[in-house]
Structure 1
Amino acid sequence: MARFLEYQGKEWLSKAGIPVPKGRSAATPEEAKQAAEWIGGPVAVKGQVQAGGRGKAGIVKLVNTPEEAASAAAEILAKTVKGLPVRQVLVEEKLDIKKEFYVSLVINGAREARSPMVMFSTEGGMDIESVLEEKIIKMFVNPVNGLQTYDGVDLASQAGIPAKDLSKFASFFAKLSQTYKKYDCQTLEINPLIMTGNGELICADCKMEIDNSSVSRHPEFGIKIARDLPGEPTELDYIGWSIEETDARGTGFLMNMGYDEVSPYHIGYHPIGGGSAMMGLDVLNQVGLKPANYADTSGNPVGSKIYRVAKCVLSQPNIDGYLLGGFMMANQEQWHHAHAIVKVLREILPTQKPGLPCVLLLCGNREDESLEILRTGLADLMTPDGPGKRIEIYGKEHVTDTKFIGERLLALSQEYRAEKDARKVG
């Protein structure tokens, strides 16, 4: 799902006529100070990251003056939460909180439902998983007509909302449902929904996630990658998305998974098919190798699309090996993979990554021809002193022998790293 940060979601809620606190995003302490001056009173300074538990992480602070807002922003913008750097803060008015509620709209994919569902609880301000089941009121929403005002009255009444406030809550629920449908949301969560001292309902927080398949219908959102990502898009993510976006012939998926200082070896990972990908990830983990990326070229893509994915995978800096993981008997014609891999390795190994371990497992339709293309096309690189001396090619005899493939890749990666380290010392 394409996710919005809190301040972005609130901007779209506001445009839909749903009440949110007066606020403004800021990328510097000075901007935070200016925002606090514009608001004119005590404010909350809230770090903007795609991660929960922001309060516990120390990136939500209540302050009284613009100067304090600037100081709080400086502290928050220097933090990293769950590996994600804080690049912006939301500065918004401090609310007069009388009561906190929880409300969300999600897709219920259960067989008996297959429709949006609204959840409402009078226990707001905490994770919904922490709320007792009997405190959460659930209602299926008609996907055509949405949640009507009378449905909202029923929902609020079941939750124990006083009669004098039923109309207010029902109107809010109906408008939130309309917004959910208008923006093609997958999830729209307000936690907490605040009732202020004067009885207003205001969205104090907002989690908005848009259905990836609908992004093309909403150019106003400015979403560049309609894909789930663990953090901010990297250059590799943008390139990978462009491959799939501009060529619909088969799958050519590519996504960055990042580096860490714990894993000793990082592998450029190029699986073929989703089930095959899971088997390959499992074996990499078992032998202590970390995939630097996730990819997939299945559904019978053309050679040019496979080439683009493989080129991106192999072009990543600091990888210690490359795995073409065809851990399945694919019915697609594998010679497209063979031609693409030969072209990429001939371009990259001689000048950019000589000696890089490349374990190529390819099996399925046209397997014999495909393996012959690999062996013939790479033969001059695979000499004992050649740039492809660590290329190993396997077929169906090892299609389920993941342990063997993993151990070969690990041994070659260790050898490659030792050779590089020796060159540095020399």
Structure 2
Amino acid sequence: MNRERPPALTRRTLLHGSLGLVSATLVNALPSPARAAAEAGDPIRQRQLRARLDTLLAGDGDPSRAVPGAALAVLRDGKVLVAAAAGHARLGDPDGHGALALTPYTPVRVASISKLATALTAARVAEQGLLDLDADLSGWLEFRLRNPAWPQAPITARQLLAHTGSLRDPPVYWMPAPGSIAGLLSAEAFTPARPGTVFEYCNLAYGLVATALENATGERFDRLAQRLALAPLGLEDCGFNWSGVPAARREAGGTLYRRDEAGCWQPQVDAAATLLGGSEPVILAEPGFELPTYRPGRNGTLFSPQGGLRAGVLDIARLAQAFARGGPGEALASPVGPSRWPEASTADIWGTGPQLLPARAYGSGEGPDLIGHAGQALGFFGGAWTTTDGRDAISYFVTGHDPQAELAAHPATGLTHWESTLLAIAVEIRRAAG
């Protein structure tokens, strides 16, 4: 559920961070990382949360489930009810880069939670009359977009954002610059279904929407998203693939990890060498390509609209809150297609971007119905959700895992042990606050 398969880091791309290994011995030798709380919050609740995060950090009694870092935030009426983090944003490495504690402000790659920002950007462009979410997207592309099995059926931006556009992810759904996204649309990128009729989760769909947004506005997707979606929410220091993120915040950014068979934590994205001293967006490109030469509208995958947003745990809570009643993304949170929202007991209900998570799906039904998105990629597992009335928002994530460990996905939601545990903690904090 909500999984990406981002490109591997190779020397032929601009993603050329250090991939040094960190041994278990080195990790154990590090000083206990600082635990950070954010803004005002009940001190007792903060201490209880940090203790719970410490337990999760160690694997909840199962060492194979240990994680490098974990963070959680709960907002009420726009203010921080509680926010805390435990563990490391970055582990020390053999190249001499020191360890760094994870805080509620630490920006990390938030995987498919990024899709909320992409959907909100599309809505903003549509509000300006530059894009019609329900029209044939071909009008905003340099090619005719059609499913070969349904050549007369148009594919729309709304269908793509809701994963009903009859596309599926091919083995590779990203195109290095200066290539065109059209090169990804082989026959295997389409399902047999008529567009608009069947749900198929698809990351490539978001690359197509981003490409159309660039054509509609003449502006690069990363800049467009920051200007129209992020900055109006007070998230101007967040960005896709580090675009627009201030240097100091980027240097304090977090790395995502996976543990190898030898028990070593191995960086998967945003290693220290990528974060320290960098100023340009991190993109996939052929050798010799210069970003200023990129022509908007050619390849929306360049800035990872499906999963490349860098943001902290507090940031993604505020992003999710935009989709609640009265928020700028409210219209996008209506179910696409028939559903029994919010009475359903399954998690397969989607709006135009956000997922609709009924209380009966993730718990006993006593918690709130939620709107938001989960994310799972490169060692990141997390979620960002808002209650339907927008009063409360919750967010959480862990920053690494052991691929050999049992993920123990929830049967109704597909959420892993870490996600289900953090979601339950957040819901309990919300309940206890009255």
Give the TM-score category using the shorter length: under 0.3
Higher relative contact order (CA 8 A, sep 6+): 2
- Identify the structure with the greater helix proportion: 1
TM-score, length-normalised on structure 1? 0.26
